[in-house]
Amino acid sequence: MNKASSLILSAGIIIGLSLLALLLGRALVEVKAWDRVVTVKGLSEKEYIADTVIWPLQFTVAANDVSELYKTIETQSAQINAFLLAAGVQENEVSIGKPAITDKLANQYGGNANVQFRYTATQTVTVYSKRVEQVRKLMSSSSQLVEKGIVLSTQSYEAQTEYVFTRLNEVKPEMIEQATLNAREVAQKFAKDSDSQLGKIKRANQGQFSISARDKQHPHIKKIRVVSTIQYTLVD
């Protein structure tokens, strides 16, 4: 009985070790296959119209008397506001900022003793609206303000019109899907050329979304771009 038990135990150990060796061998093969990867990039680009416009109407006035300066600022601000409301801009879309006033004679660096006007003030009336096309059409009519003696500044950075695209979260899923499909097509082509088959995704990086104007002439048209990096396994 002891001899028979020993034989059975020995046979069980041998069979167990054989199975273990087989499993380890398969595991090593799978690990080796998992190390065969290809890294590709998938691109998705789309164009959308901006959904928000920020239009600063900035002007500068000058005077030698502060009270006269403020009176001119209030008058011209009211004229701009009336122009906007008459054109269909909503009252809650218009904001009038505080004027920035400079006293040239108080300039610590001097050199302004012979200036014609002691005080200058820069004032900004800002339109913040979701109705981009309507505001864009109104911009071409802003020359009507010149007839009222209001000269708008257009060169300073603060006076530049800004177009904003706020619906990125809405378009993200579709663009990520497109970038992923594009990456898979590239990976499949690589696998075919290397006599392999494409396996599962090993690692994926969504990438950063970028929003930019399509060009200088059409800043209200935004180009949305994302590049996804995806790593696939290759199998025989």
- Among the ranges given (11-15, 60-64, 100-104, 200-204), the one the predictor scored with the smallest mean pLDDT: 11-15
Give the tens place of pLDDT for each residue, 28-87: 444 444 567 889 999 999 999 999 999 999 999 999 999 999 999 999 999 999 999 999
Alpha carbons 27 and 194: distance in angstroms, whole number: 24
Residue 28's pLDDT is 41
H helix intervals, 36-88 = 66-86
Q: Annotate 160-201 with DSSP letters as a single string.
A: --EEE---HHHHHHHHHHHHHHHHHHHHHHHHHHTT-EEEEE
Residue 16's pLDDT is 57
Percent of the chain, pLDDT > 90?
Answer: 59
For residue 84, the number of C-alpha atoms closer than 13 Å in the C-beta half-sphere is 24
Q: Which two tokens stand for residue 136?
A: 């864009």
- Among the ranges given (47-56, 107-116, 155-164, 223-232), the one the predictor scored with the smallest mean pLDDT: 107-116
Question: Mean pLDDT over residues 201-226, rounded?
Answer: 92
Give the tens place of pLDDT for each residue, 88-107: 999 999 999 999 999 888 76
Whole-model pTM over 0.85: no
Residue 176's pLDDT is 93
Confidence category of residue 120, pLDDT binned at 50, 70, 90: very high
Percent of the chain, pLDDT > 70?
Answer: 82
Q: Annotate 89-147 with DSSP letters as a single string.
A: --GGGEEE---EEEEGGG-TT---TT-S-SEEEEEEEEEEES-HHHHHHHHTTGGGGGG
